[in-house]
Chains A and B, each alone.
Chain A
């Protein structure tokens, strides 16, 4: 059974810092990995999707990498802003139509 872990569970940084969020998974036979953002009480917004054949994806200040063999992905946020404050979730898709989510990292960027 796939297990997805996100570290740290919570993170507080001053505005302007570059930061890295970590995601690890136990079963490397994945189709893809997706990073989401969730604001309190809201749904999930897709940030980046990395297919299993890819190593990284970039969108603006966000860069996500994938190392399938070691079961790891990182989300890099450059020059963080208060508007980046949210919970960040990673999810991996395995065979059997299973999308497994991590517990999320709650990010607070202070002005």
Chain B
């Protein structure tokens, strides 16, 4: 138990569906992240939020839309996805005091399959 909880753990959706991934951290951290892990590729940073402000958007297609309503919750809204978007989506959090200076804690991930 890392203190970072992701739901759902598994999601299957069609290309025309709209769904959301949820991440919640119970660590009192101020920064939260979305990563994508595809087969045989290194983890790719998608979004970074620090104190609920987006500080990084790593050239992610607009069919992925993040939302950070408060420092404990992070969402990834999905719409009109492609089969190549099938991957493990990992959420992480880190303490405040400047993004990049603290240890990252990851959730268990949400396994997404796009049909």
Residues of A at the B interface (CB closer than 8 Å) are 4, 31-32, 34, 36, 41-46, 49, 51, 89, 91, 93-104
Contact = CB atoms under 8 A, between A and B. Distances in A.
B97 to A, nearest CB: 11
A44 B90 contact: yes
A43 B107 contact: yes
Given A89-B43, A103-B42, A45 B100 contact: no
Interface residues of B, number: 26
Nearest to B110: A43
B2 A45 contact: yes
A64 to B, nearest CB: 13
Interface string B97-112: 0011101111111010
B104 A43 contact: no
B45 A99 contact: yes
Label chain A's interface by main secondary structure: strand
A44 B90 CA distance: 9
B100 A101 contact: no
Contacts of A101: 42-43
Interface of B: 2, 4, 6, 33, 41-43, 45, 48, 50, 55-56, 88, 90, 92, 99-101, 103-109, 111
A100 B44 CA distance: 8
B108 A93 contact: no
B51 to A, nearest CB: 13
Contacts of A44: 90, 92, 104, 106
B100 A93 contact: yes
B45 A43 contact: no
17 contacts: A4-B42, A41-B109, A42-B109, A43-B109, A44-B90, A45-B2, A46-B2, A46-B105, A46-B106, A49-B103, A91-B104, A97-B50, A97-B56, A99-B45, A99-B100, A99-B104, A101-B43
A45 B106 contact: yes
A49 to B, nearest CB: 4
A31 B100 contact: yes
Contacts of A103: 41-42
B56 A43 contact: no
Contacts of B2: 43, 45-46
